[in-house]
């Protein structure tokens, strides 16, 4: 049995304080003096806002009992109260919709190396290490790498990740096991590629790929505790240039038959696009390759999508697919600047965020938020003549990091914001944590004693301070499915 944290029964817990979320695109909601109840299954079953006046002089548990008229054993209820700590707030857990778990050892290498060369020089050789004929050796290596990346992402507030593993079935199964043991919500994809002519040492033949896909998916479906499906398989064609038509057809049919989500790469690099045009001349464009093989649907995550034309954008919107924006990687390997705001507001495409480890050099969605905003500022500097302003706001990027990700993986009714019926996948942000990198000054406190608008101004300022000057040290507690998976106070 691999289930550990995932199978633990959580205590019924009341959380009282300030909650920040973006249930709709571009709209930041500050819920001060809000009480949320989370049941033993990790589901929010009670939520009441603006209770400051009602709860004055009343015990939190007593207030909860009055509101719900429930007969409860108060000794079984825990309380987390941050209502008198204005430098703390609850935020939905981050969702990383594009991360290569196997590439974690390569963080920081390959600066400026274009995509196709970068794959051959750095990525394929590393991923080949997970396919060694020495089964014991490759599993030991994979355990070390995967344990570290899971822990690191959790420490950074990522409660859900959509992982690319490798072509190897054994180590991909291990990645799923380790996610479950750590209590992280995850989608784990065995990489599928059977036509890697530029690096033939790293590929599978079609029959082996089909067999290993069946093994991995069956394993993942069997390991979850009966009470909760925390880790799921995801269909993962690496990208069109390394997949035969036969394999793409199989994967499209598999995704449809098993109702599985899909993740792949799209239009990251101009030479990549030219290669696809050469390899698939019968397809209208790069995006159409995936559509022609039934891989484009409302739970498809398309990583990057930098260089898309109008027809491709309209097709993605029509299919309801998601673009995973990966600004760190886009800059690090010189792929380009993605017009994300145009995708969001003009084409109405759902956009999420991805760290894209290891093209992205940090496994942190907070860092990805910073780079998203800065990349959009740079795009604005040299496109001022255009009618559309490409600059992203903090609210836009928080949405992409939470609800945008939830929509991308088909969990918009499960995670991504605070609402009754959703799961408690949450991080506690302490701007003044003991080892914080942030210096706090008193100028912002003047807004605390004012009107509701002033208080919103205070927390908006605080959020901006954290986004641009904070890091993982400010994420002091993390819950996934109601279970505490990170506690830096211990």
Could you state, in order of their start, the residue ranges of all structural domains in the chain?
12-92+418-487, 94-409
Instruction: List, for residues 87-96, the tens digit of each pLDDT value.
Output: 999 999 999 9
pLDDT of amino acid 1: 39
Annotation: CATH topology of 12-92+418-487: Urease, subunit C; domain 1 (2.30.40)
Closest CA to 286 of 300, 301, 297, 275: 275
One CATH from 3.60.21.10, 1.20.1250.20, 3.20.20.140, 1.10.630.10 for 94-409 = 3.20.20.140
Contact between residue 223 and residue 231 where contact means Cβ atoms under 8 Å apart? yes
List Cβ<8 Å contacts ≥24 apart for 7-11.
Answer: 7/225, 7/227, 8/183, 8/483, 9/40, 10/38, 10/40, 10/41, 10/42, 10/481, 10/482, 10/483, 11/40, 11/76, 11/77, 11/78
Residue 71 contacts residue 64 (beta carbons within 8 Å)? no
CA distance 298 to 32: 34
Q: Six-digit token pair at 427?
A: 């991080």
- Position 6 confidence tier, pLDDT thresholds 50, 70, 90: low
C-alpha to C-alpha distances, 358 to 28, 61, 103, 162, 336, nearest whole angstrom: 30, 46, 5, 14, 17
Residues 165, 142: Cα–Cα separation, whole Å: 10
Please, what is the average pLDDT of the chain? 96
Write down the pTM of the prediction. 0.97
353-409 confidence digits (pLDDT tens): 999 999 999 999 999 999 999 999 999 998 876 788 999 999 999 999 999 999 999
CA dihedral angle for residue 179, residue 181, residue 183, residue 188, rounded to 10 degrees: 20
Residue 255 CA to residue 249 CA, distance in Å, equals 10
- Confidence class for position 72, pLDDT limits 50, 70, 90: confident
Answer yes or no: is pLDDT of 172 > 60: yes
Match 């942190």 to its residue by tokens. 364
Query: Cα–Cα distance between 336 and 330 in angstroms, integer?
Result: 6
pLDDT at 156 over 50: yes
């Amino acid at each position: 049995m691999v289930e550990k944290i995932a199978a633990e029964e959580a205590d019924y817990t009341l959380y009282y304080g300030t909650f920040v979320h973006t249930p709709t695109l571009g709209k930041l909601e500050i819920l001060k003096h809000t009480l949320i109840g989370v049941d033993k299954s990790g589901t929010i079953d009670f939520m009441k806002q603006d209770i400051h006046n009602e709860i004055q002089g009343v015990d939190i548990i007593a207030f909860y009992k009055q509101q719900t008229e429930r007969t409860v054993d108060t000794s079984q209820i825990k309380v987390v109260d941050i209502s008198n700590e204005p430098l703390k707030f609850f935020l939905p857990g981050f969702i990383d919709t594009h991360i290569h778990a196997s590439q974690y050892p390569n963080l920081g290498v390959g600066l400026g190396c274009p995509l196709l060369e970068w794959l051959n020089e750095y990525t394929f050789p590393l991923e080949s290490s997970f396919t060694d004929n020495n089964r014991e050796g490759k599993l030991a290596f994979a355990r070390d790498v995967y344990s570290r990346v899971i822990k690191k992402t959790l420490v950074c507030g990522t409660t859900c990740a959509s992982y690319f593993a490798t072509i190897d079935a054994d180590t991909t199964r291990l990645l799923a096991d380790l996610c479950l043991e750590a209590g992280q919500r995850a989608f784990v994809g065995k990489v599928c590629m059977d036509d890697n002519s530029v690096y033939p040492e790293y590929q599978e033949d079609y029959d082996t790929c089909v067999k290993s896909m069946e093994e991995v998916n069956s394993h993942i479906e069997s390991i979850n505790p009966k009470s909760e499906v925390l880790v799921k398989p995801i269909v993962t064609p690496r990208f069109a240039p390394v997949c035969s038509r036969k394999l793409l057809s199989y994967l499209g049919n598999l995704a449809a038959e098993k109702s599985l989500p899909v993740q792949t790469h799209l239009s990251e690099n101009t030479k990549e696009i030219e290669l696809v045009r050469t390899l698939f001349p019968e397809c209208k464009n790069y995006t159409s390759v995936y559509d022609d093989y039934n891989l484009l649907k409302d739970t498809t995550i398309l990583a990057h999508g930098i260089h898309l034309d109008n027809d491709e954008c309209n097709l993605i919107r029509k299919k309801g697919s998601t673009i995973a924006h990966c600004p760190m990687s886009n800059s690090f390997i010189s792929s380009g600047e993605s017009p994300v705001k145009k995708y969001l507001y003009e084409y109405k495409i759902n956009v999420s965020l991805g760290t894209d480890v290891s093209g992205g050099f940090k496994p942190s969605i907070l860092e990805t938020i910073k780079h998203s905003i800065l990349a959009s500022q740079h795009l604005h500097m040299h496109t001022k003549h255009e009618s559309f302003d490409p600059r992203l706001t903090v609210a836009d990027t928080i949405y992409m990091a939470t609800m945008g990700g939830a929509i991308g993986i088909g969990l918009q009714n499960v995670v991504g914001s605070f609402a009754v019926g959703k799961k408690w996948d949450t991080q506690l942000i302490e701007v003044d944590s003991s080892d914080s990198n942030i210096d706090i000054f008193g100028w912002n406190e003047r807004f605390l004693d004012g009107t509701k608008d002033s208080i919103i101004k205070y927390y908006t300022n605080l959020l901006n301070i954290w986004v641009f000057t904070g890091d993982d040290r400010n994420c002091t507690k993390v819950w996934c499915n109601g279970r505490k998976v990170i506690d830096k106070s211990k």
